[in-house]
Structure 1
Amino acid sequence: MTSQKPSIASFMLGVAALLATSVAWSADKLESTNPAGWSQQAQIQVAAQHDHGARAGLSSLSAIKPGPEASLFGSEAPAGSTSRVVDVAPGLKYVNVDSGETVTFKSGASEITFAFAQLDRNKAVALNVLFPELPGGQGVWVYIEQSELYIGG
């Protein structure tokens, strides 16, 4: 009898993993039915939110738009929802942010508030990739910490 308990537990874990995989696979298939692909789909959704959000307080002093790859790292957020402000000034080389953090990047009269996504591992992206129109973003890197949601424990 004692030898069956581990095999029953292993069987149940296997079934749970199969069910989780099936759900994830189905969700992936639903997203991929769009010929544009998931990346372009996300960009379209962000652009639509930006158009609606500009009237609801998402626009800033000077209208800075996220770049096309920015949707892979998060999305534009309302200006009042920021946890901190980063001044993009000469000499700035990098900025550390946490997954899920909302940061306002400011350069002169231009600013943009961005909510970083919950990421499963550490990531780095050039600031001018996120915001090509932001003055002074050339050569500045944004290091995004792994989300605590994926650390476990």
Structure 2
Amino acid sequence: MAVTAVAAVSATTFAAQTVEPARPQTSSVAQLFGEPASSGDGARTVRITPQTQAVSVHAGETVRFDFGSTSAAWTFAARPGNTVVELASLLPDIPAAKGVWVHQNGSNAFAGH
């Protein structure tokens, strides 16, 4: 009888848990540049074509990258100075991101003015 009670409690506990949607895995390098965002959160959409070599973004900006058949969004961290990162480092699951460089204009929050 004790085993039945434990099983009932375990089943109830399991049923009450909510499952969060899986977020894309990001590398520790990618985390220095911000974090993945929902595609609907993008304030600006940038279309990436095979001819695209570079994209300029601002610190703190959320950008939706449209690759034609798929898209992904990224919120860029506020960082001092200007930085450059390959888009494939941020979105490793999207092959079309390879060879596209993101130029991030730094935030004035660290300027000391």
TM-score normalized by the length of structure 2: 0.73
Whether the 8 Å contact between 2:39 and 2:71 is mirrored in structure 1 is no
In structure 1, distance between residues paired with 2:77 and 2:49: 25
1:132-143 to 2 correspondence within 5 Å? 132-143=92-103
- Stretches of 4+ aligned residues off by more than 2 angstroms: none
Structure 2 unmatched runs, 5+: 1-18
1:1-153 to 2 correspondence within 5 Å? 52=20, 54=21, 65=24, 67-68=26-27, 69-153=29-113
TM-score normalized by the length of structure 1: 0.55
Following superposition, the deviation at residue 66 of structure 1 comes to 5.1
Aligned length: 94
Q: Percent identity?
A: 33
Greater fraction of residues in helix = 1
Following superposition, the deviation at residue 108 of structure 1 comes to 2.1
In structure 1, distance between residues paired with 2:30 and 2:66: 17
Structure 1 unmatched runs, 5+: 1-50, 60-64
Whether the 8 Å contact between 1:66 and 1:76 is mirrored in structure 2 is no
In structure 1, distance between residues paired with 2:25 and 2:103: 17
Q: Which has the higher contact order (CA 8 A, sep 6+)?
A: 2
Following superposition, the deviation at residue 72 of structure 1 comes to 1.3
- Cα gap change, 1:106 to 1:81, in 2 (>3 Å): same
SS in 2 for 1:136: helix
**CA RMSD between the two structures:** 2.0
Greater fraction of residues in strand = 2
Following superposition, the deviation at residue 137 of structure 1 comes to 1.4
